[in-house]
Structure 1
Amino acid sequence: MTQENIHLGASAVPQASLGANPVLKLLPLTLTVFIGFLTLGMQLPVLPLHLHDTLGMGTLVIGLVVGAQFAASLLSRAWAGNFADMRGGKRAVMVGLVTAAVSGLVYLLSLAFVATPVTSVWLLLGGRVLLAFGESLIVTGALGWGMGLVGAQHAGKVMAWNGIAMYGAYALGAPLGVTLNGGWGFTGIAVATVFVPLLALLIVSGVRAVAPTATRRAPFYKVMGAVWVPGMGLAFCSVGFGVITAFIALLFAARAWGDASLAFTAFGLAFIGARLLFGHLPDKIGGARVALVCVVIEAVGLLLIWGADTAAIACLGAAFTGFGYSLAFPGFGVEAVKRAPPQNRSLAMGAYVAFLDISLGLSSPLAGALAGTWGIGAVYLGGAVAVMLAVVVALVLLLPEGQGRQPV
């Protein structure tokens, strides 16, 4: 990459900031993302059961409601990326947190219509869409903001620490959500969804803003075209994450294995551990090399869940899946940053993460249909097959310059 690419422009990254410890500079932002994403973590083991047990919905509807958030996130990525580039990452994150809090109010409203399940489901769907817009602003803003704080040469660390915050929130949020649901039902989840993002808003207000990097909107399709190859790798490997978030609670319930939050916690702890121990590797040895190894580990984890006959084996599979997916995401992401226009890095990160949205938006309902036909365990065999397709993408990215890489 050129010197211009590394520095994002003199106004965006002061020279002094590049010499500071990037992890310390990212710490307040990481904490903000962590608290903000607790709202999602609390819902993971509870929302599918609320839809199934309280509202009487089948697996296809559950997949559609869960997947709707990712579809809505996809539709909002272009706007969120341009907003962050033109208005600044800090403002994007703050608006996203407020939007996430409003989604909790819609969840509360849905509880007034439990006696008419279809109406309640539609309101839940509306809340998921609002949460998607909030999540899109938070993630896209935080990635661009983080690279503005520490420089694009630390892109892998920015993605790694944002991921630690997100999936740490999933790991802690899952048992917290089960506890809230046990004491106060889905009402407790809805109330927490209102107030937890507001706590993150208090923290983010004290973090230094970074000057916007763009003065006009960039065409989303052009940036998407620059990052589509690593984006496809992200899409395939994200199927494993999708089938765990949408269906692991139902798998545990169907096999009478008890509390599914243990699987979420195993996934999250392995995810965090991998990034703490090996999060520097994509920046150091290359994203495609790291991704190639890690997608194989992720596929092994999904196969373990598919063949599990005890909760312990399923949790071990969730841990393998979390470990592999943990480093595949920044591995493919570093390759995407190499192809991104420097003045549109938030938009480029939005375009890259859009492949996650595409993956989860499609795989959740498809996995729901698969579960309805072949049983809940079949979604993990299908997930393993999809994840192995990411191996092909990683191999393409490892081709010599000009064969596997797309020009910006």
Structure 2
Amino acid sequence: MAFQSTPDPARGRLLLLSTILFISYLCIGMSFPIVPLYVSEQLRFGNVWAGLGVGIAFFATILTRGYAGSLSDHRGAKPAVMRGLALYVAGALMALAAGLVAHMPLPSFLLLLVGRLLLGLGESLVAVGIIAWGIGFVGPARSGRVLALVGAAIYGALAVGGPIGLALFDRFGFAGMMAISAVLPLLGLLAIWRVPGIAPHPGAERPPFWSVIGKVWLHGAVVCLQGIGFAAIGAFFTLYFLDRGWNYAGLGLTAFGVGFVLMRVFFGHLPDRIGGLPVAAGSLVVEAVGQLLIWSAADPTVALAGAFLTGLGCSMIYPALGREVVSRVEPHLRGTALGGFSAFQDLAYGLTGPFAGLLADRAGYGSVFMAGTVAAIAGLLFTLSLRRMRAVVLN
């Protein structure tokens, strides 16, 4: 159900949270296409190491989603978000230190990995906290809309941050770009200070984390498979263009982000209106077509169109299935369930970087996007299985 046009304080707070998230997440968006370039071109490490530089942040996020969800449920969403934003700053400063010792490749790479790990932990806290905070404001009936707005803020920051990061990288170098990116989450911390928090559930009974995961793992598997397409674009689209001698290498994440945000802005209400599984199934078909276009592209225009379609397809899968997850758990477990559910997406982002780098070394950059196509089709089959299982339960 879409928001009503009458003034709604809860809606205003949700939009404010999304805006703060957008500004802060530019810290990550600006670095996303830069890290593989820095590792492969300046430090002279291979594609596998470049992929690891991107993907290790998501491994940190995977390992801390349970902690982030528990903190959000037990202590409150606002403390989780503020702690996460502080870690964004620390991660950017560590990457700045890596850029200052670029003449020593191994120490620089190790410092970069530490910075990426801090960003990953911060991402876990911020994402889970903002979602729980937003649902606390507007209620679980509009959880699909909350997830859509939060995702629009994140991927909008990726779309804008990619070209901004490349421009700053060219102008100020890696260290200079990281210094600028450290300022953005500081602005988020200042802005979020006065936003009211929501009541935690400190005394509620809490089953083991893995028991909660058992309720949502099939939905998480679909999100994991769809995330491979985005991770492939984030880590290797720029290198794919450079390898082919094409212009506009920095516009891959922009094309993806434009499609992603447009879908969420105009169709973010669909999971709440028609249900999550139908939306997820249609979205995976679009993502598969987009990845196939990138793989088969004979010129940059077709590849950018494929990135745009991938953004359209990926856009609604997380909120559509996230709404299903919210409906399957008690209110005091929403943060924990969403944290575990989100970890499956992080798993895709973390594994895609190094494994796609290995695939690119052996079969070329185009093969990375064929892998994304296959993953999207597998996700579609999982989603259709979930729909059949639901139909059996209802009958």
TM tier, shorter chain?
A: over 0.9
Residue of structure 2 equivalent to 1:13: none
Residue of structure 2 equivalent to 1:257: 246
Counterpart selection for 1:395 from 355, 377, 384 = 384
Report the alpha carbon displacement of residue 196 of structure 1 after superposing the two structures with TM.
Answer: 0.8
Residue of structure 1 equivalent to 2:371: 382
Contact kept, 8 Å, 2:76 with 2:198, in 1: the verdict is yes
Counterpart selection for 1:57 from 45, 65, 68 = 45
Q: CA offsets per residue over residues 163-185 of structure 1, 9 Å max, x none?
A: 01001101111111112111101
1:385–1:400 distance in 2 versus 1, CA, 3 Å: closer
Is the partner of 1:361 in helix, strand or coil?
helix
State the TM-score, normalized to the length of structure 1. 0.92
Report the alpha carbon displacement of residue 401 of structure 1 after superposing the two structures with TM.
Answer: 3.7
4+ residue runs over 4 A deviation: 402-405
State the one-letter code of the partner of 1:368: G
State the one-letter code of the partner of 1:291: A
Cα distance in 2 for partners of 1:401, 1:108 equals 49
Q: CA offsets per residue over residues 123-165 of structure 1, 9 Å max, x none?
A: 1000000000111100010011111111011110010000010
> Is 1:222 aligned to residue 214 of structure 2?
no
Moved more, 168-177 or 393-402: 393-402
1:48–1:404 distance in 2 versus 1, CA, 3 Å: farther
Counterpart selection for 1:75 from 63, 84, 108 = 63
Q: Percent identity?
A: 41
Equivalence map 1:31-110=2 (5 Å): 31-110=19-98
Report the alpha carbon displacement of residue 116 of structure 1 after superposing the two structures with TM.
Answer: 1.9
Contact kept, 8 Å, 1:99 with 1:133, in 2: the verdict is yes
Residue of structure 2 equivalent to 1:325: 314
Q: Which runs of 5+ in 2 are unaligned?
A: 1-6
Report the alpha carbon displacement of residue 301 of structure 1 after superposing the two structures with TM.
Answer: 0.3
State the one-letter code of the partner of 1:307: S
Cα distance in 1 for partners of 2:278, 2:10 equals 23
Report the alpha carbon displacement of residue 99 of structure 1 after superposing the two structures with TM.
Answer: 0.6
Moved more, 177-186 or 330-339: 330-339
Residue of structure 1 equivalent to 2:159: 171
Residue of structure 2 equivalent to 1:237: 226
Residue of structure 1 equivalent to 2:143: 155
Cα distance in 2 for partners of 1:228, 1:402 equals 19
State the one-letter code of the partner of 2:213: M
Counterpart selection for 1:133 from 98, 121, 124 = 121
> Is 1:282 aligned to residue 283 of structure 2?
no
Cα distance in 1 for partners of 2:130, 2:121 equals 14
Q: CA offsets per residue over residues 54-104 of structure 1, 9 Å max, x none?
A: 000111111112111111100011111111111111111111001100111
Cα distance in 1 for partners of 2:202, 2:217 equals 22
> Is 1:189 aligned to residue 201 of structure 2?
no
> Is 1:305 aligned to residue 294 of structure 2?
yes
Counterpart selection for 2:195 from 203, 207, 213 = 207
> Is 1:180 aligned to residue 168 of structure 2?
yes
Cα distance in 2 for partners of 1:203, 1:223 equals 33
State the TM-score, normalized to the length of structure 2. 0.95
Moved more, 146-155 or 205-214: 205-214
Equivalence map 1:340-355=2 (5 Å): 340-355=329-344
Residue of structure 2 equivalent to 1:198: 186
Is the partner of 1:56 in helix, strand or coil?
coil
Residue of structure 1 equivalent to 2:105: 117
Cα distance in 2 for partners of 1:213, 1:298 equals 38
State the one-letter code of the partner of 2:64: S
Is the partner of 1:399 in helix, strand or coil?
helix
Contact kept, 8 Å, 1:341 with 1:348, in 2: the verdict is no
Q: Which runs of 5+ in 1 are unaligned?
A: 1-18
